[in-house]
Chains A and B, each alone.
Chain A
Amino acid sequence: MNGNYGRRIWYLCVALGGCLALAGCLFEPREAALPADGAVVTYFDKTSSNNVWANLGKSLEATNSPGWEDNISLEEFIYIPDTDTENQFPPGTFVGWDRDREVNFINSFYNSGVSIVVQMKDDDFVVPPDTGLEVEWENVIYFLTVINSADNSVTKYRGSAIITFRLEGNFWYVYQWRDQQGESDPDTGQPLPTMGVLRGNFASK
């Protein structure tokens, strides 16, 4: 009995030790370069929904995906497109759009060599106060101008959305992004698509 028990403990130690050894060899992140002067992206603390929404804007302007990943829900993120966008893409393109798909999208988008000018909300939007464990922003209008240096194209996205923020741990995160409709370009009056079209472009190709 004691012999068996000792052998089991020995097997366990070997297995765990093997795992740790493997982890040490294979799971070593690379060395990072020291931050360059003038290239520091300073995010706000995620202590309010307003800060979180502003952080997404900072992430877009800096095309810095960790900033996006760090401000959308770590537990459950949901994106729901507007019906117009949904109908432009093959059925199922947006089904089950969760954190993993959002992270894939934002990395592909930023890696495509674009630069972005963004206004995350209209000046007259009244930010609801954070209270309790969840807060919903209704009819927030965001506006993105995407400049692609590869072909010198400029595309614009302006949409009205319902954004739900949740308190996870001690910080706020975007839990649900529901696009409602595309909004008009304030300069030309041209109706523009929502950011869902960008998501659909990367998800469907």
Chain B
Amino acid sequence: MFDRGLSPHCRSVSCTGEFLRQSVEHWRLLLAQIVMVWVVVLLSPTSAVAQTEDNQPAASDSTLTSPATGGGLAAARSQADAMGEEAEEGDEANNVVLNKTGPLFVRLTNTPKVGSKANVRQNLFFGELSSLVTMRNAASFSNMLKWSYEEYRKQNKNVERRGESFTYSPGAGLPLTFALVGDWSWMQDKTVNTAEFANLFAQDNKMIRLTGTRTKFTAGDFVHSFKMGGSFEDRQSVNQKTEKNAREGTVNAGLQTGYKILPGLVVAGRIYGTTNSGQKTLGDKDGPSSAIGDTLGIGIYYDNVYSNGRIAVTRSNFEKKYLDFRKNAIGSIDTIGVSDDLKIVNELETQDAMTLEFEANFNLGPVRFDSTFKRTTNDLNYAENGLGLRERELNEAKFSLGVLVGVDSLSVSYDYGWKWDDQTIQGATAKRGRQYNKRRDLDFDWERPLFKQTRFQLHYRVGLSQDIAEAEYNANDKDRLQTDFSVQLNRTWPQKFTTKLLVLYREVQDISIRANRSSNNNIKDTFEITPSYTWYTSSWLTWDQSYRLYIQYTDYVFSDLEQVTRQDNYNKRGNLTTRVTLHPTKRLGLIFRHDYNKKFNATKSGEDAAGTVFYARDLNQTISKLDMAMTFKVMPGVTLEAATYRTRDDRENIRGDKVTEILNFSGELWVGARIVQSWPNSASFSAIIKKFNAFGPSVSATSASYWEADIWLKWEF
């Protein structure tokens, strides 16, 4: 595995000395690079370095945290995926041609950026500086410094953030692909609530992490991927005058090994372990913290002309010790009325998870069959938290069949999920009882060309979801059955005209099983028909029009009982949307749109001896909305934009003989400009500025007049 650093004729034990000398040389070079990079960056005219919110690998490194927080196969898989991804990066780095004789520093690029963003909720001002040093042997050092300030328009709140992060990669030439990542993030969130209670939530987090990976290297008949890492974190925060601090060190390592038994048949195993240790402060209490976790997995994978699949099992565990607030049986902090010495507890959290997966896929000419079975079990136990022990099991089976028959394509899929969870509340002698959820879905799709340029699609779906409480420990048992049937026709006349017709029927049954929940049980039947067309009249004019007619009947299952006050009802809606898109010149674009929405609701008022049902109308409403949008390119890089809408909402509420009429108008107008400018000296400027004015009975003062902006200036040198 260490052959990269050796000359071709020197791959034996006797050459170990030379290898070690080369390794030491690499490490010296690495150290020199880090020191010199910092000198270069710090002494350069823009010696700041920045960090973005998206660039915080410390907080989101799934490889380091997954086994301790997520557990189960997901943890193992994310670890394996992460190893794979980094491996690919590593491969790229390893493929770089080594250049050991050039200058140490190849290029230094600094990119400062300043800007501001605004919207109806907040104004944001920011500045950042990113720096990139490229060095010989594909080594690199990237650095980011960032500052931002947010002020909220609808709250008494402001947030200031500062951050710095760097990533150093020594490039090719080392036995492993290394990365050194550092991150500092600082934040102060000042909020005053409506009772004038002012709170400062402040965080100051620092982290440094070193990772090394090597992927797909061969040793005998085995192929390995390896990853190791270590990190140190110092996190400090205060919220509601309560301190929460931690200083922790973490080390982890993982190995994935595969062995080809036969052509197309591979057995692979993976092992991963992580441990951390440190000190935590919560409120006025200090205590040690530690965590240890491991994941072990093995799988058999096959792949041939007609089929592929796998069977895999993964087991993961962790044990964490830390200070925590006292929590109740649903995991909420529960310290009100509790004496100070009992508010904070020494928690011991353990998890034991296992996943078994089986997948088999067959591809036989026009027939394709896929199947998946999966079982996950997860036990999460707290020594102090009121949650106590939570046990979960998730089972899933999926089958799908796709067939090509001439010009027709058919597919059928069935998905069955069955899961439960149980809880032994802290201090209880018996389990709560299992909460089951069962879900079945069946889908059928048929598609074929009906005539020339005309496609026909049919979709049928039925799904049943059931919640069942074991031994009725709660009264929330319920079933939901949904059936969908739709037919769609699409016709296209190339470059001139397209049409679409959708006919849909849907039935939803909401059934609560227990007597004290079943009064609202109902069945909703929905019918919808939606024809639409788009007419490309000319290169500068397009018409779109769609009409949607929708009717829904709601039948309350127990509406005939005296104690149930719900009555069956139906509601209808017709919606006509017309849109005209115009480009009179190359610089001017216009869109006009009109929505005409008419609807009414009616409630069952009686039934005669012949079974005829009567409904009384209780709502008539017409909403008419006219929109217009315009863009005009004033000159290259400068575009003026404007849009406006006006809505008329005409409503009649009918209660017996009493009719209440309400007429409301609302609208909005915004005008703005979009400017994008680049200069030959690598500077660029972008500004999107819009001024909004709105009116209407539900428009608040802060939404009636505001700016929306995204402005930034950056340059590179």
Contacts and interface: CB of A to CB of B under 8 A. Distances in A.
Contact of A84 (B239, B435, B479): B239
B219 to A, nearest CB: 37
A66 B427 contact: no
B328 A148 contact: yes
A27 B406 CA distance: 32
B425 interface: yes
Contacts of B700: 128, 136, 138
B289 interface: no
B664 to A, nearest CB: 4
Contacts of A119: none
A32 B557 contact: yes
Given A66-B520, A107-B476, A12 B512 contact: no
A110 B476 contact: yes
- The residue among A29, A113, A156, A202 with the most chain B CB atoms within 10 A of its own CB is A29
B440 interface: yes
Contacts of A155: 328, 332-334, 336
B405 A8 contact: yes
Interface string A179-192: 01111101001110
A144 B558 CA distance: 31
Contacts of B189: 83-84, 87
A36 B516 contact: yes
Contacts of B476: 63-65, 107, 110-111
A45 B604 CA distance: 14
A2 interface: no
B444 A15 contact: yes
B328 A153 contact: yes
Contacts of B203: 87
Contacts of A23: 442, 462, 483
Contacts of B518: 32-35
Contacts of A138: 154, 700, 702-703
A157 to B, nearest CB: 8
B398 interface: no
Nearest to A160: B194
B176 to A, nearest CB: 27
A67 interface: yes
B697 interface: yes
Contacts of A162: 154
A27 B460 CA distance: 14
A109 B329 CA distance: 11
B558 A160 contact: no
Contacts of B287: none
A8 to B, nearest CB: 5
Given A11-B405, A132-B625, A32 B521 contact: yes
A66 B405 contact: no
Interface stretch (B263-271, B559-567, B582-590): B559-567
Contacts of B647: 131-133
Nearest to B155: A180
A183 B193 contact: yes
Given A34-B515, A84-B191, A128-B698, A170 B386 contact: no
B664 A131 contact: yes
Contacts of B513: 30-33
Contacts of B169: none
B193 A19 contact: no
Contacts of B512: 32, 64, 66
B80 interface: no
**Interface range on chain B: under 10, 10 to 19, 20 to 34, or 35 or more?**
35 or more
Interface stretch (B40-48, B92-100, B226-234, B463-471): B463-471
B387 interface: yes
B336 A35 contact: no
B605 interface: no
B616 interface: no
Contacts of B380: 205
Contact of A133 (B406, B414, B426, B623): B623
A72 B150 CA distance: 30
B410 to A, nearest CB: 6
Contacts of A128: 697-698, 700
B466 to A, nearest CB: 7
B253 to A, nearest CB: 23
Nearest to A198: B332
A186 B331 CA distance: 24
A50 to B, nearest CB: 12
Contacts of A133: 597, 623, 625, 647
A23 B443 CA distance: 10
Contact of B331 (A8, A37, A191, A201): A201
Contacts of B625: 132-133
Contacts of A112: 329-330, 423
B414 A22 contact: yes
Contact of B509 (A29, A135, A182, A186): A29
Interface string A32-72: 11111101111101010000000000000001111100100
Given A23-B462, A131-B696, A191-B193, A12 B408 contact: yes
Contacts of B662: 129
Contacts of A45: 569, 601
Interface in B131-179: 154-155, 157, 159
A117 interface: no
B415 to A, nearest CB: 12
Contacts of A120: none
Given A34-B561, A91-B59, A132-B666, A107 B467 contact: yes
A29 B479 contact: yes
Interface string B598-635: 01110000000000000000010001010000000000
Contacts of B515: 33-36, 39
Contacts of A12: 405, 408, 410, 446
Interface string B93-116: 000000000000000000000000
Contacts of B423: 112
A63 B477 CA distance: 12
Contacts of B194: 139, 141, 160, 183
A115 B382 CA distance: 24
Contacts of B561: 34-35
21 contacts: A16-B444, A29-B481, A30-B511, A32-B513, A39-B517, A66-B510, A90-B69, A110-B474, A111-B467, A111-B469, A112-B330, A113-B432, A128-B697, A132-B625, A133-B597, A133-B647, A153-B334, A160-B155, A183-B194, A191-B197, A205-B387
Interface of B: 59-60, 65, 69, 154-155, 157, 159, 189, 191, 193-195, 197, 199, 201, 203, 237, 239-240, 328-334, 336, 380, 386-387, 390, 403, 405-406, 408, 410, 412, 414, 423, 425-428, 432, 435, 440, 442, 444, 446, 460, 462-464, 466-467, 469, 473-474, 476-481, 483, 509-521, 550, 552, 557-558, 561, 563-566, 569, 571-573, 597, 599-601, 619, 623, 625, 647, 649, 662, 664, 666, 696-698, 700, 702-703
Ranked nearest first, the 7 interchain pairs of A and B with the lowest CB-CB distance are A39-B516, A128-B698, A153-B328, A29-B479, A36-B515, A170-B571, A184-B195
Interface of A: 4, 7-8, 11-12, 15-16, 18-19, 22-23, 26-37, 39-43, 45, 47, 63-67, 70, 83-84, 87, 90-92, 107, 109-114, 128-133, 135-136, 138-139, 141, 146, 148, 150-151, 153-156, 160, 162, 169-171, 180-184, 186, 189-191, 193, 197-198, 201-202, 205
Given A83-B159, A160-B155, 19 more contacts: A12-B405, A16-B446, A22-B414, A26-B442, A29-B464, A32-B513, A32-B521, A34-B518, A43-B520, A45-B569, A47-B619, A63-B476, A65-B478, A84-B199, A84-B239, A139-B194, A153-B334, A170-B600, A191-B199
